[in-house]
Structure 1
């Protein structure tokens, strides 16, 4: 029987996802990197001594094939990190100029992709027992912070698709935490903070916070002996919904 813990990180070939994968590997887990680009996934897996699977979270067949491969390899999944996400850019996300095609594309990855992956991998998570699901959300998905005049998000540029997709992901997190409590599976959302990654650079952001710093809360939730569930967390503690 496989005793080493098995983790899957979607979008784990770069940025915060790669940092999470590295952190889990350092904790002794066997990490599988899911990546749309198979070559990028294989290279990222080599760097941490893990494995990779082609995985496009927007494609049913791709997700089912990835699950079948992990079942064949290990027969279980202890940790699922739903990290894959897209910003959609800034064009077509401004109030009064919203492009629904942009919104749909963002939601297809950031929300429906999480539904798709989580549902498909549930049998393997249930087999593992006391499994963990970590959903990589964003502080921009906090309704409390977005509506607080004293918070920096009150004056940030309005891009409607990405923050609203993360707010929806937060609700998904709560519902799955409730629904999987009887299975002993913890489900939490994290706000890694804005980090110096390709994702941020694509939005024109120059940042000092590293991907490793952003990944720390995800790694902690995946590895602590006793995990909370139904929480939204950052380094400093609880993020208000």
Structure 2
């Protein structure tokens, strides 16, 4: 049975992604910063008959927590097929580039960028042992420098996303370098924007969470001929999905 680790999966898009992958026959390690919240999420899934899932206490901002999660999963399996770096924070709403303080930037980057690096580095050995490993870094179209600098871009005036957008732009660059370093392996790495979705993250505005999860899963399940080192947002580009960095 193939396995997947999803960070920040106790609610929202992460939870829905876990649910859909369970329905497709995966064993899911449901990463949650708070163990109680994670266990509650797992119980919800099991009540729907989706039993191949377990909670992994995982705070992506804490080095010891990441190491403990790696040790715990390593006792259960010798390989990991998919890593979905989903955990993220928005840095606070309505904070512009001139209003946000350094602590806001540091906290947001610690989760959205440094956290992804911590988790990826911790689990890369298990991924390398899988037959067709995939890494999906959950990003956003407002992290595209090309789009965000275009006055015709619908989100051009979203100055309130300065902290969040900057962190996701940095995540995108990390994705580019990670894909490059893994170019001679069987690991494929992509950044995926799930789209503006109805979750706590957006005060429940936007599209359906089921659609967002499908967008992530699509690139978690690409075959050997699939892309690597690309940035996708099917909400932005319904035809090919790919958008500029």
TM-score, reference length from structure 1? 0.93
Asked if the contact 1:137–1:169 (Cα under 8 Å) also holds between the matched residues in 2, the reply is yes
Asked if the contact 2:6–2:28 (Cα under 8 Å) also holds between the matched residues in 1, the reply is yes
Runs of 4+ off more than 4 Å:
none
Asked if the contact 2:13–2:209 (Cα under 8 Å) also holds between the matched residues in 1, the reply is yes
**Two-structure CA RMSD over aligned residues (Å):** 1.3
Instruction: Give the number of aligned pairs.
Output: 233
Q: Which residue of 1 aligns with 2:129?
A: 127
**Structure 2 CA distance, aligned partners of 1:230 and 1:54?**
29
* Structure 1 segment 28-67 matched on structure 2, within 5 A: 28-46=25-43, 47=45, 48-49=50-51, 50-67=53-70
Asked if the contact 1:88–1:102 (Cα under 8 Å) also holds between the matched residues in 2, the reply is yes
Q: Which residue of 2 aligns with 1:24?
A: 21
Q: Which residue of 2 aligns with 1:212?
A: 210
Q: Are 1:88 and 2:98 matched, yes or no?
A: no
Q: Are 1:139 and 2:141 matched, yes or no?
A: yes
Q: Are 1:72 and 2:75 matched, yes or no?
A: yes
Q: Which residue of 1 aligns with 2:99?
A: 97
TM-score, reference length from structure 2? 0.91
Q: Comparing both structures, which one devotes a greater share of its residues to helix?
A: 1
**Structure 2 CA distance, aligned partners of 1:140 and 1:174?**
17
Asked if the contact 2:6–2:18 (Cα under 8 Å) also holds between the matched residues in 1, the reply is yes
**Structure 1 CA distance, aligned partners of 2:181 and 2:138?**
19
Q: Which residue of 1 aligns with 2:3?
A: 6
Asked if the contact 2:97–2:159 (Cα under 8 Å) also holds between the matched residues in 1, the reply is no
**Structure 2 CA distance, aligned partners of 1:159 and 1:208?**
16
**Structure 1 CA distance, aligned partners of 2:98 and 2:68?**
40
**Structure 1 CA distance, aligned partners of 2:164 and 2:85?**
16
Asked if the contact 1:135–1:190 (Cα under 8 Å) also holds between the matched residues in 2, the reply is yes
